[in-house]
Amino acid sequence: MAESTDDTDCGCPEFSGMSRRGLFRGALSAGLTTTALFGSTFVETSWAQPLATGAPSAPSVLVVLSMRGAVDGMSLVVPHGDPAYYAARPRIAIPASQLLAKDSFFGLHPQLAPLLPMWNDGRIAAVHAAGLPAPNRSHFAAMEEVEDAAPGSLTRTGWLNRLIGRDTFTSPLQAVHLGGSLPPASLSGPQPTVALETIGDMRLAGVDKWDVGGRRTRSMQTTWRSFGGSLGAGARSAMQAIDDFTPVKATSATPANGASYPSTDLGKALAATARTIRGDVGAEVITVDSGSWDHHVDLGTLAWGQMQRMAEEFATALAAFFTDLGGLGGKVTVVAFSEFGRRTKENNNYGLDHGWGNVMLLLGAGVKGGHHGQWPGLVNEANGDLSVTTDYRSVLAEVVVKRMGASSAAVFPGFTPSTVGALL
Amino acid sequence: MGAASRRALVALPAVGAVAVSAGVASPAEAAVYLPRAWTRTAIPTAATLHQLKRFTSGYTPALNKQVIAAGGFTKWFEKQLGGSYSDGWSSDTSRWWTSINASASEIWRRDQEGIEGMWLADANYERWTLVRRLGSQRQVLETMTDFWENHLHVPAKGEVGPFRSSYGKTIRRFALGRYDDMLAAAITHPAMAVYLGNANSSKVAPNENLGRELLELHTVGRGNFDEDDVKTSARILTGYRIDSWRTWTFSYDPAHHWTGPVGVLGFSHANAAPDGRAVLTAYLRHLARHPATARRIAFKLARRFVSDTPTDALVARLAKVYLASNTDIRPVLRSLVTSTEFRGAYGTGKKVRNPTEDVVATWRSLGATITAAPRDGEAEVAANEILWQTSSLGLRPFSWQPPDGRPDTAAAWSSTSRFLNSLDLHYTMSGGWWPQVGVRFRTARSWLPADRIRFDQLVDHLARTIHGRGSTSLLLQAACEATGCTPATSITANHQVVKYEMARLLTVFLDCPTHMTR
């Protein structure tokens, strides 16, 4: 039986890597010789280099940071040159004199200061007035629409599941959700994925020094070998991923390069993201949730409120993330965005109700820094929205094509992207 | 890398191959792992087990006896709906934490004096709900309270002022009553007002948050209203005030109420009086009776109790009963349990227990009991620590942040973390390792129904006790593999499985589809 022969390691890292890859990715040998399977030379070249750990390396990593609850993008990237902004927000508008990296029209929230060095280096892009093609003010409907990103399709798959489905690999570690045990809709679909609250979660209880002869693992594999539905698939994915995830668990829990994350859920999730990337286990998509940014009440001012507190946490966590990654940051692109934006005019509670257009932020590898998109002009009336001039899929399409070597049509079926120019 | 994990790697592709084929043990394995019944341990019929798993926090032998004493499931269910069983456990345990029954001003005073922060008061409320589900004789009431508290969701994370416990008790009061009463009480409760921004909304620029979610989540649902309805809804809701973070006094100030004619989804009113509360009540009762609300409630009930994807026919039938019964929930439940769809779901095991349900069911399955009231919310005793068990699985009872309430589908509760952390909890509880104080676990010896018993019969006895049904070939195989026993191994109190490895055996019964679904 294979069980006994495999106990004897040949001592050759190349072999052990190859055999593990073969086990987890049935079509690997075909993939190595058939370039067409990979879709792009870039991807093929990278995958053709087995690592000593046995886990395949991801040449590019896309981190999708969902700002749940709909952040007010006009508080983060402030259109100080639009007079309606100040007219509509007599109490919560951010004074132009306080903005960072201010040009003739936009400036950044002062609490984004930790990201200023990256901004000045041209490693952060802001695409304003982006969003869904038509307003959808329901959090839940908008999140589904944004994350399915395939209007009219009858099959419910997320855009990131389609992205990782573009190749023949089936490792559940190809897409990992970190910081929570509930995967976002963008990951749902036929490709198995992993959702982890913490890195330490990736272990099978009962597998310990007293567990002789692999009894526990065998018993669990028997138990779950045939159960159908999501739970059966999830159980098998989890057990399959445990061994391949070992290199991540072996990385130091202390961030590198003196990086200091805020001790918040977002800080922890991004620290885990950096460790997962460092572990080099083939995770090319990592999702992280942040929020709630649903600031109907007490969005506040620069002196108090939820926005100044959360903007600081957001910027500190992302700055720490890129510090932690160091040179590895050269392959990591972060996209941060929400399901929709907020109303132009403030309400009676120092807050903002549901709106439409918003800012999308891109950070890191391949990003063409600065402002992108077209500003539609604000209207100071009760129901005034920031109109959408850039479909959010055009931004994401540039990322998946230029960074991930994917086809836009496969990830965003039926959609013809316009050029945004936010990536190099 | 150890031999064990190597073996795991090699075995996996075969696992996948089996998964897509037959779905049962191969004939050769079935011959080796033939279940052997231990009939002295009583079990309910398959139909009754299914009904109990869907309508309680988990099967126990004591529950089976209660059903038998009542004269069968139907009579037991009627007694549950009618409140015949004692509510003593709930009222006794409500006194375990001061904040459960304290007034809002008392909870706020305790917060200000550093006795108990409001986040802890909310955590204690969550603990009480877990303890209630663990021991309540009114299991259907607890199940329905959970259902409604999730439908009209308000988190218990210290963010809604000193009102969360009161809110939960309000929902429980109506959980087997009429939805129009429950909706009116919930939407005008200060906890909801704080959570969804109605606490200081005003006619000048109404906060639309509650007005929208009332339509989208609590009543008619998506696709049945437009943005004008949201704005009108928000206007009708104006007038409430809360003195946030000072006294938390909840009041109504007509000066802040928007007046003028309103029309939403067939409801219209002159709304001329400065005090709009009567208009609001009429509006909420109208919404509760709207056909779209009936369908939404019917759908959610069918999804909770029948299937992740209930049929349109069942939803339509339940909606009809709901409207005909003047939003009384009991006739709807009676119709549901007698439906062919519910009966057809026997034994399919497709409703996955969420993390909170898993924790409570694990306690009940293992016969673990809470033996002491906590001294306060920070004491390291089981009645408090059970809350950390739910958070280790990724979901405290009311930690879900958005107002849609936690999901109720298998896909949501099948992730890597959820699965592996559930297994960790099961193993820890099987070993009786944590919690340590204020808890009683069964001894390893007590799981043996005879001084000497064959392993396959022991497995059957354990399956009957823990699952409420006999063992299967697959379960027997997994139990043999976990312990190194064969079906014929003779087990006594001196066998190593009983002396050292009972946790490894018991956890097999919890780490399986039967336990992780309801």
On the CB side of A344, CA atoms within 13 Å amount to 24
ipTM of the complex: 0.91
Query: What pLDDT does A56 receive?
Result: 73
Angle (CA) B67 B73 B77, round 5°: 95
Whether residue B62 is contained in a domain is answered as: yes
> What are B99-112's pLDDT values in tens digits?
999 999 999 999 99
Whether residue B498 is contained in a domain is answered as: yes
CATH number, domain with residue A264 = 3.40.720
A195 min Cα distance to partner chain B (Å): 5
Other Cβ atoms closer than 10 A to B434: 14
Query: Which residues in chain A have Cβ-Cβ distances shorter than 8 Å to B479?
Result: 219
Helices (H) and strands (E) in chain B, counts: 28, 8
Are B463 and B507 found together in one domain? Answer: yes
Query: Which residues in chain B have Cβ-Cβ distances shorter than 8 Å to A226?
Result: 18-19, 22-24, 474
Cβ-contact B219, B293 below 8 angstroms: yes
Query: Does pLDDT of B5 surpass 50?
Result: no
Query: What pLDDT does A18 receive?
Result: 31
Contact B3 A348 (CB under 8 A): no
SS (H, E, C) chain A: CHHHHHCCCCCCHHHHHHHHHHHHCCCHHHHHHCHHHCCCHHHHHHHCCCCCCCCCCCCCEEEEEEECCCCCHHHHEECCCCHHHHHHCCCCCCCHHHCECCCCCCEECHHHHHHHHHHHCCCEEEEEEEECCCCCCCHHHHHHHHHHCCCCCCCCCCHHHHHHCCCCCCCHHHEEEECCCCCCHHHCCCCCCEEECCHHHCCCCCCCCCCHHHHHHHHHHHHHCCCCHHHHHHHHHHHHHHHHCHHHHHCCCCCCCCCCCCCCHHHHHHHHHHHHHHHCCCCCEEEEEECCCCCCCCCCCCCCCHHHHHHHHHHHHHHHHHHHHHHHHHHEEEEEECCCCECCCCCCCCCCCECCCEEEEEEECCECCEEECCCCCCCCCCCCCCCCCEEHHHHHHHHHHHCCCCCHHHHCCCCCCCCCCCEC
Whether residue B409 is contained in a domain is answered as: no
Long-range contacts (CB closer than 8 Å, 24 or more residues apart) made by A98-102: A98/A302
Whole-number percent of chain A with pLDDT over 70? 87
Whether residue A86 is contained in a domain is answered as: yes
**Rounded to an integer, what distance in angstroms lies between the CA atom of residue B214 and that of residue B224?**
12
- Amino acid, single-letter form, for residue A140: F
Contact B416 A201 (CB under 8 A): yes
Across A8-17, A287-296, B26-35, B462-471, least confident range: A8-17
Query: Does pLDDT of B27 surpass 70?
Result: no
To the nearest 10 degrees (0 to 180), the angle between helices B355-366 and B118-135 is 50
Q: Specify the higher pLDDT residue, B362 or A57.
A: B362
Give chain B's domain count: 3
B396 min Cα distance to partner chain A (Å): 12
- Tell me whether B434 touches chain A (CB under 8 Å): no
Query: Does pLDDT of A8 surpass 50?
Result: no
- Amino acid, single-letter form, for residue B282: A
Query: What pLDDT does A248 receive?
Result: 96
Query: What pLDDT does A45 receive?
Result: 28
Query: Which residues in chain B have Cβ-Cβ distances shorter than 8 Å to A239?
Result: 8, 12
Query: What pLDDT does A2 receive?
Result: 34
**For an interface test with B, which of A193, A266, A348 has the most B Cβ atoms less than 10 Å from its Cβ?**
A348
- Tell me whether B241 touches chain A (CB under 8 Å): no
Query: Which residues in chain A have Cβ-Cβ distances shorter than 8 Å to B201?
Result: 347-349
Query: Does pLDDT of A41 surpass 60?
Result: no
**Rounded to an integer, what distance in angstroms lies between the CA atom of residue B275 and that of residue B238?**
10
B199 min Cα distance to partner chain A (Å): 9
Tokens of A176: 């990992």
Which of B302, B325, B344 is the endpoint of a domain?
B344
Whether residue A27 is contained in a domain is answered as: no
Whether residue B211 is contained in a domain is answered as: no
Query: Which residues in chain A have Cβ-Cβ distances shorter than 8 Å to B216?
Result: 138, 140
Contact B504 A20 (CB under 8 A): no
Contact B413 A231 (CB under 8 A): yes
Per-residue pLDDT, averaged over A352-366, amounts to 97
Q: Would you place residue A28 in the very low, low, confident or very high pLDDT band (cuts 50, 70, 90)?
A: very low
Are B39 and B60 found together in one domain? Answer: no
Query: What pLDDT does A36 receive?
Result: 29
Whether residue A417 is contained in a domain is answered as: no
Question: Across chain B, what does the average pLDDT equal?
Answer: 93
Query: What pLDDT does B348 receive?
Result: 66
**Nearest residue of chain B to residue A8 (CA atoms):** B3
Whether residue A109 is contained in a domain is answered as: yes
Contact A347 B207 (CB under 8 A): yes
Contact A353 B207 (CB under 8 A): yes
Per-residue pLDDT, averaged over B31-50, amounts to 95
To the nearest 10 degrees (0 to 180), the angle between helices B329-337 and B312-324 is 150
Cβ-contact A267, A317 below 8 angstroms: yes
Contacts of B104 (CB under 8 A, 6+ apart): B161, B162, B163, B166, B190, B248, B250
A1 min Cα distance to partner chain B (Å): 10
Cβ-contact B513, A227 below 8 angstroms: yes
pTM: 0.87
Looking at chain B from residue 373 to 412, which residues have their Cβ under 8 Å from any Cβ of chain A? 393-395, 401-402, 404, 407, 409-412
**Rounded to an integer, what distance in angstroms lies between the CA atom of residue B3 and that of residue A243?**
12
Are B296 and B340 found together in one domain? Answer: yes
A418 min Cα distance to partner chain B (Å): 30
Query: What pLDDT does B28 receive?
Result: 54
Per-residue pLDDT, averaged over B17-31, amounts to 45
Whole-number percent of chain A with pLDDT over 90? 77
- Tell me whether B222 touches chain A (CB under 8 Å): yes
Query: What pLDDT does A153 receive?
Result: 77
B360 min Cα distance to partner chain A (Å): 19
Are B318 and B296 found together in one domain? Answer: yes
**Rounded to an integer, what distance in angstroms lies between the CA atom of residue B250 and that of residue B256?**
14
Whether residue B370 is contained in a domain is answered as: no
Which of B324, B344, B364 is the endpoint of a domain?
B344
Eight-class DSSP state of B437: S
Query: Does pLDDT of A213 surpass 70?
Result: yes
Query: Does pLDDT of B232 surpass 50?
Result: yes
Are B73 and B39 found together in one domain? Answer: no
Whether residue A416 is contained in a domain is answered as: no
- Amino acid, single-letter form, for residue B114: G
Q: Omega into A183 within 30° of 0, i.e. cis? A: no
Give chain A's domain count: 1
Whether residue A328 is contained in a domain is answered as: yes
**Rounded to an integer, what distance in angstroms lies between the CA atom of residue A333 and that of residue A165?**
19
Contact B196 A140 (CB under 8 A): no
**Rounded to an integer, what distance in angstroms lies between the CA atom of residue B364 and that of residue B442?**
11
Dihedrals phi, psi of B456, to nearest 5 degrees: -65, -35
Whether residue A175 is contained in a domain is answered as: yes
Per-residue pLDDT, averaged over A127-135, amounts to 96
Based on the number of CB atoms within 10 Å of its own CB, is A141 exposed (0-12), middle (13-18) or buried (19 or more)? middle
Which residue's entry shows tokens 């944590």? B434
Tokens of B445: 């010896």
> What are A144-197's pLDDT values in tens digits?
899 988 887 777 799 999 999 998 888 899 999 999 988 899 998 889 899 999
Domain residues for the domain of A77 are 58-202+245-411
Contact B197 A197 (CB under 8 A): no
**Which whole-number Å values give the CA distances from A11 to A4, A15, A244, A328, in the listed order?**
16, 8, 18, 29
Query: What pLDDT does B186 receive?
Result: 98
Query: Which residues in chain A have Cβ-Cβ distances shorter than 8 Å to B395?
Result: 181
From A7, A181, A296, residue closest to B197, measured CB to CB: A296
Cβ-contact A123, A318 below 8 angstroms: no
Q: Would you place residue B30 in the very low, low, confident or very high pLDDT band (cuts 50, 70, 90)?
A: low
> What are B388-432's pLDDT values in tens digits?
999 999 889 999 988 999 999 998 999 998 999 999 999 999 999
Q: What is the dihedral of CA B56, B57, B59, B62, to 10 degrees?
A: -80
Cβ-contact A79, A375 below 8 angstroms: yes
Eight-class DSSP state of B178: B
Query: What pLDDT does B26 receive?
Result: 52
Query: What pLDDT does A62 receive?
Result: 98
**Rounded to an integer, what distance in angstroms lies between the CA atom of residue B83 and that of residue B2?**
56
Per-residue pLDDT, averaged over A261-279, amounts to 97
Query: Which residues in chain B have Cβ-Cβ distances shorter than 8 Å to A214?
Result: 3-5, 7-8
Query: What pLDDT does B349 receive?
Result: 66
Whether residue B492 is contained in a domain is answered as: yes
> What are B289-338's pLDDT values in tens digits?
999 999 999 999 999 999 999 999 999 999 999 999 999 999 999 999 99
Q: Would you place residue A22 in the very low, low, confident or very high pLDDT band (cuts 50, 70, 90)?
A: very low
Query: What pLDDT does B346 receive?
Result: 77
Specify the 3-state DSSP secondary structure of B369.
strand
Dihedrals phi, psi of B182, to nearest 5 degrees: -65, -45
Whether residue A236 is contained in a domain is answered as: no
Are B26 and B68 found together in one domain? Answer: no
Are B34 and B54 found together in one domain? Answer: no
Domain residues for the domain of B307 are 291-344
Query: What pLDDT does B375 receive?
Result: 85
Query: Which residues in chain A have Cβ-Cβ distances shorter than 8 Å to B1?
Result: 9, 243, 246
From A219, A225, A246, residue closest to B18, measured CB to CB: A225
Query: Which residues in chain B have Cβ-Cβ distances shorter than 8 Å to A220?
Result: 423, 478, 511
Across A19-28, A331-340, B241-250, least confident range: A19-28
Looking at chain B from residue 16 to 55, which residues have their Cβ under 8 Å from any Cβ of chain A? 16, 18-19, 22-24
Query: Does pLDDT of B137 surpass 60?
Result: yes
